[in-house]
Amino acid sequence: MAKLFHIFLISILLFLVAFPATGEEEHIFGKSIKRKSMGLRKEKLSHFKFYWHDILSGSKPTSMMIIPPPKNTTTGFGQMNMIDNALTLGPELSSKIVGRAQGFYASASQNDVGLMMVMNFAFVEGKYNGSTFTVLGRNSVFEKVREMAVIGGSGLFRFARGYVQASTHSWDMKTGDATVQYDAFVLHY
């Protein structure tokens, strides 16, 4: 009987060593899922056209310098601005607002005026209300057309990808205020 008890005890010990009781569930790092389970429909390509208003002047600027450039730069290298710019249907600031560009831009070139743009386009109009897509890229402001990447989004723009083209509509040299036309080409579900 004692021999049977020892075999039983050794079996339990071997079981505990082979299968430790951690109290944790098995965690899965990644697994495939079906698109339909996330409500994803057929992907489509959309074109959006709107105007971006960067207002540095007046009592309610929408672009604020948060890091000034050093005194010895001719390109503004190192300067950074935080933005909450209106996106409108027309080039006039008084035209219908369809969203806000929220993020920052920074002068990232020592040789020319080249900005690094990081912005969420947060829409407030129609079926896109509450949806966003994110733009990241280089903006050589004195080129006629600049192209930047759409790298993602939320809401109706989940899994978004594409690009935007920016063209300066107007720029006031005295105030620094600018209106830029954006054409966005976005693949989304």
Sequence spans of domains, the chain? 43-188
Q: Is the pLDDT of residue 103 over 70?
A: yes
Considering the domain 43-188, what is its CATH architecture?
Beta Barrel (2.40)
Say how many residues make up the chain. Answer: 189
Mean pLDDT over 116-124 rounds to 98
Closest C-alpha among 140, 133, 127 to residue 166: 140
Q: Residue 31 — very low, low, confident or very high, per pLDDT cuts 50/70/90?
A: confident
SS3 107: strand
- Answer whether residue 67 shows pLDDT above 70: yes
Query: Can you give the pLDDT at residue 36?
Result: 76
Q: Is the pLDDT of residue 173 over 60?
A: yes
Return all residues near 137 (Cβ < 8 A) that are at least 6 apart. Answer: 116, 117, 146, 147, 148, 149
E strand map for the chain: 44-54, 63-67, 80-88, 97-107, 114-123, 132-140, 146-154, 161-171, 178-188
Q: How much of the chain, in percent, has pLDDT values that exceed 90?
A: 75
116 burial class (0-12, 13-18, 19+ CB within 10 angstroms)?
A: middle
Pick 8 or 86 by higher pLDDT.
Answer: 86
Say if CB 133 and CB 158 are below 8 A apart: no
Reported pTM? 0.81
Task: Give the span between the Cα atoms of 121 and 126, in whole angstroms.
Answer: 14
> Is the pLDDT score of 25 beyond 80?
no
Question: Alpha-carbon distance 24 to 33, whole Å?
Answer: 24
Q: Per residue in 135-150, pLDDT tens?
A: 999 999 999 999 999 9
